[in-house]
Amino acid sequence: MKKLLLFCLIVCSLPTYAQPPAGYYSTATGTGYTLKTQLYNIIKNHTVIPYSSLYACYEGTYNGNATDKKANGKVWDMYSDIPNGTPPYEFNWSQKCGTYNAEGQCFNREHSFPQSWFNSQSPMQSDLFHVYPTDGYVNNKRSNYPFGTVSAPTWTSLNGSKLGNCSFPGYTGIVFEPRDEYKGDFARSYFYMATRYENVIASWQNNSNADNVLNGTSTQVFDTWHLNLLYQWHIQDPVSAKEIARNNAVYTIQGNRNPFIDHPEWVAVIWGFAPPTPQVSFSAPTSTVQEPNSGTITHTVNVVVNTTANNPFSVNVSVSGTGTTASTPADFTLLTTSLTFTGSETIKPVQISIQSDGTTEPDETIRLVLSSPTNGVGLGTSTHDITLRDASASSNVTETFDPCNNLNTWTQFSVTGAQVWQCTTFGRNSSSGVQMNGYSGSPVVNEDWLISPPLNLSVTSKMSYWSRTKFNGNSLQLKISSNYTGTGNPNSATWVNVPGATFPAINSDVWTETANVDLSAYAGSNRYVAFVYTSTASAAARWTLDDISFTSVSAPPVTPPTLNVSGTLSPFGNINFGSISPTQNFSVSGSNLQGDVTVEAPTYFQVSKDGSNFANSIVFTAGTDFTLPTMTSKTVYVRFAPNSGIDGDKDGSISITTPQASAPLGIYVEGTETGNGFALIEFAGITTEAIKGQNTFIKMKIQPATRRLTHVNLKARLVGNTSLNDFTQTPTFAPDTSFRINIPAEATETAFFLQPTAENITDKGVEFTITSVGGGLGIGSQMVHRVNFAQVSAITNYDVENTVLYPVPAQSEIFVRTSLQNYDLSITDVTGRMVKKLENSPHIVVLSDLANGVYYVNLRNTQGSITKKIVVNR
């Protein structure tokens, strides 16, 4: 029995990431789908990590190499991040999802390639190359809709991701569109999935809504519309420094790489797109930096190439005289004036030294320009504007309005109505203040904003203010924004109400202080707060404000929350698919708590607070289930509910978390899934000779099990110059269209037949592929079968019995002993792909270039053919 595990968070340091070893891609020498298969053989069989360990991989506590941690230590969430801007919120690592009802509350694990498309199976479910940390609410909104472009969104996230009907040619269903800066990341994740799972992805088309994206093949994989979309995103959003670092980190965990990050040009080579003309661009059109209070800092802007160039090239970097308002060297110095790229490099930094000038001034602009790339490389986004914020944008700001001149450092914006915020002599303690009154002879409809200067807020920032109101009307609102630019209509930005902001009762006419409003949730630079006044045609109050302050105070000593677990869980043992184990339980308690306690079970396990209502996660809610800061012992019920359809051990850790805890708590659980009835079906062989005028049966063998197969779906492809008039068939089918064969109960094989009828059957035949089954995950390794038409077969049983391939198993070569004369030899793998072809009756075949596995050797002459199975095992 395995004991209780404590998962301690460690301090993140910058890891030294491994690069692919020399020769990692040495066998990737082909083109088209041959190259794709070569890459599959390189990146398959990766180290599979437990699904429950993904959070540790993201943060870097799994092996020291974080896959998704920002430089500031926060979660790198592509559904909330705004590159080169200020995100609306950022997650700490303790904010893993339990329950949520809005953005910014928690994050979880997003399968960018939805797991319903592969029935939540391993190893796909925990493959880091497509599973990212994202906002739980946005993840839920995205659901399993395909990626696409949206011109008329029905919902937009705070970072600009959109949901709505697809506007990309070829599809009109509901899709999810991420930010432009991350579209290439997701596209390359999809190209990875198409390659890493080449051996099984053709069978996923009919899972959930996957047929909106997948075309049921292992070669092209995607429907044409989606392939074109992914390629467009791949080109428009080139590989970034984030992707390169993540690729390296995942390599240290899984032992494989995303080849389309290492070699972006391979997408065009495999899927037949015309290689794009190399273009050099700034990675983003704008960025913002705040000048230091003293000395200098270095600001970095990345320059990228949309695809690897064939030859080295250089590009010049300069400061434009047009559009630049900052001065050099008083404000900045350009440190990088030219960049040289090797043929394989796709990203380079431009560095600018930012100087403290000791003066208070408005925002300034530095415009960088790329010019004169060499060796035929074109220019993409060739300008980049850096907004230089003044150092006076501070986290310690006090405005007494004494004296008050045009609102001092604050600004007003009138959305509706003629009345505006203005200075008044009726401030607190007979001093000056600011006031808004929507009454002018009678109440007037108004919406007016009093907006702060830009603020740098820390995790300990607090706000205080005094307010007073007279007459009937609406209360003020206090809002905060992370993406307001400081000018223009504030309604064009995103604002949220500040929790804890209070105001005196309507018509109370008493100065009231609101002290120490907590702004820690909005920590960051260039934040704006605003007092929003509204009045109607029937009621207009007068509001006066004074002595507004923002302070960054020392955090009081806090005793970190402590979680305790009592009891252990025994292994659940063997539980059949679809069944539920007996319940076990343990107890959890806590002290010095600051919020809810969340208990999350790993996949295939469930937890409950009452022993009746089970779910993947439960929450003990502060104020309902217990009173802060102490939670007395609470019982957690646990059960094992396996449903993967694959026999074997299932394990993981139940995670117990609470805000601000120094370490989450975990308790190990394990069980074994048994009794799966997923029958397997596959073709009985790789090829069949169909003789003209004779019925030829194409057999499929079935491995029976408890959960039987009900039917099998196949597709037929006509070979060479074959037409439907060249043969008869039962059941009837059309080329490239799915047809169905029902399977009787207890059957161990099934078959269909065809009969060649054409006069000339040279180079004719039909290739069949099993695409899906009914009743379970039941496709074996032999998914493809080819029927070759023949006039007559002169091959006898003697020829078959006297054809021997040895040794068994084979290593570096096989020897052929046969009575056949003048034959050609070909070798195919279990998917039907030919990997070797030899002529002139070879008797020795070299196998050193083949990977370990099962292969089929076909000997063919004018009389017919013989197929034998071999195993390569070194």
Task: Pick the closest to residue 687 from 822, 865, 871 (CA basis).
Answer: 865
317 and 369 in contact (C-beta within 8 Å)?
yes
pLDDT tens for each residue of 184-242: 999 999 999 999 999 999 999 988 889 999 999 999 999 999 999 999 999 888 888 89
Pairwise CA distance, residues 248 & 242, whole Å = 10
Q: What is the DSSP string of 773-787?
A: EESSS-B-S--EEEE
pLDDT at 11: 24
709 burial type by CB count under 10 A (0-12 exposed, 13-18 middle, 19+ buried): buried
Cα distances (Å, whole numbers) of residue 363 to 176, 317, 327, 360, 366: 36, 23, 12, 10, 10
* Total count of residues recorded for the chain: 874
Cis preceding linkage at 83, omega within 30: no
Q: Which domains, ranges and CATH numbers included, belong to the chain?
A: 32-271 (no CATH), 279-389 (2.60.40.2030), 398-551 (2.60.120.200), 562-673 (2.60.40.10), 694-787 (no CATH), 803-872 (2.60.40.3080)
Ordered DSSP codes for 199-228: TTGGGGTTSTTGGGTB-S-SSS-B-HHHHH
**Residue 127: pLDDT over 90:** yes
For 359-394, the pLDDT digits (tens) are 767 778 999 999 999 988 889 889 999 988 776 554
CB atoms within 10 A of CB 310: 13
CB atoms within 10 A of CB 241: 15
For residue 639, which of 618, 664, 619 has the smallest C-alpha distance?
A: 618
- The tens digit of pLDDT for each residue in 756-790 reads 887 666 678 888 888 777 655 456 556 777 888 76
Query: CA-to-CA distance for 482 and 583, rounded, in angstroms?
Result: 47
Could you tell me the pLDDT band of residue 719, with boundaries at 50, 70 and 90? confident
Residue % of the chain over a pLDDT of 70: 88
CA angle 855, 858, 860 (to 5 degrees): 170
Which conformational region is residue 119 in: left (phi greater than 0), alpha (psi within -120 to 50 degrees), or beta? left
Task: Please list, residue by residue across 146-166, b when 16 or more beta carbons sit within 10 angstroms of its beta carbon and e when fewer do.
Answer: bbbbbeeeeeebbbbbbbbeb
Burial class (CB in 10 A: 0-12, 13-18, 19+), 567: middle
Sort residue 669 into left (φ over 0), alpha (ψ -120 to 50) or beta.
Answer: beta
What pLDDT score was predicted for residue 542?
Answer: 95
Contact 267, 273 (CB under 8 A): yes
Mean of pLDDT values over 47-54? 89
Instruction: Give yes or no for residue 277 having a pLDDT over 60.
Output: yes
- Residue 775: what pLDDT? 58
State residue 682 phi and psi, 5-degree precision. Answer: -160, 160
Closest CA to 637 of 661, 615, 662: 615
Q: What average pLDDT does the segment 827-842 reach?
A: 82
Cα 607 from Cα 617, distance rounded (Å): 6
Cα dist from 116 to 120, 516, 677, 777, whole Å: 6, 47, 20, 13
In whole angstroms, what is the distance from residue 839 CA to residue 847 CA? 16
Q: Which helix (H) or strand (E) covers residue 629, if one does?
A: none
Task: Provide the 10 A C-beta neighbour count for residue 397.
Answer: 20
- Please list the residues that pair with 364 across neighbouring strands: 388
Q: State which of 20-29, 87-96, 102-111, 190-199 shows the largest mean pLDDT.
A: 190-199
The answer to whether 651 and 585 are in contact (CB under 8 A) is no
Q: Indicate the residue type of 759.
A: E
pLDDT at 16 > cutoff 50: no
Confidence of residue 2 (pLDDT cuts 50, 70, 90): very low
Count the Cβ atoms, other than its own, within 10 Å of residue 792: 11
Q: Chain-centre distance of CA 203, in angstroms?
A: 22
Distance CA 125, CA 197 (A): 12
For the record, the structure tokens of 141 come out as 């909104």
What is the reported pTM? 0.44
**DSSP-derived secondary structure for 311-335:** S-EEEEEEE-SSS--S-TTTTEEE-
Give the tokens for residue 696.
Answer: 């030829």
User: What is the secondary structure of 12-77 as a DSSP string?
Assistant: -----PPPPPTTTTTT----HHHHHHHHHHHH-SPPPPPGGGHHHHHHTTTTS--SSB-TTSSB--
Which residue type is seen at 83? P
Q: Say yes or no to pLDDT of 554 above 50.
A: no
Average pLDDT over residues 142-158: 92
Burial class (CB in 10 A: 0-12, 13-18, 19+), 295: exposed
H helix or E strand, kind and range, residue 831: none
**Rounded Cα–Cα distance for residues 755 and 673 (Å):** 45
Nearest to 320 by CA among 253, 254, 371: 371
Mean pLDDT of the chain: 84
What is residue 686's predicted lDDT score, i.e. its pLDDT? 67
Highest mean pLDDT pick, 25-29, 120-124, 456-460, 649-653: 25-29
CA-CA-CA-CA torsion sign (334, 303, 132, 53): negative
Instruction: In whole angstroms, give the CA distance from residue 855 to residue 853.
Output: 7
Q: How far is residue 95's CA from residue 77's CA, in Å, rounded to a whole number?
A: 12
The pLDDT-based confidence of 429 (bands split at 50, 70, 90) is confident
Q: How far apart are the first and last CA of the chain?
A: 37
- pLDDT over threshold 90, residue 271: yes
Q: Which one-letter amino acid corresponds to residue 566?
A: S
User: What torsion do the CA atoms of 818, 822, 827, 831 make, to the nearest 10 degrees?
Assistant: -110
> Residue 132: pLDDT band by 50, 70, 90 thresholds?
very high
Region 237-251 average pLDDT = 90
- SS3 state of residue 157: coil
Average pLDDT of the segment spanning 447-463: 84
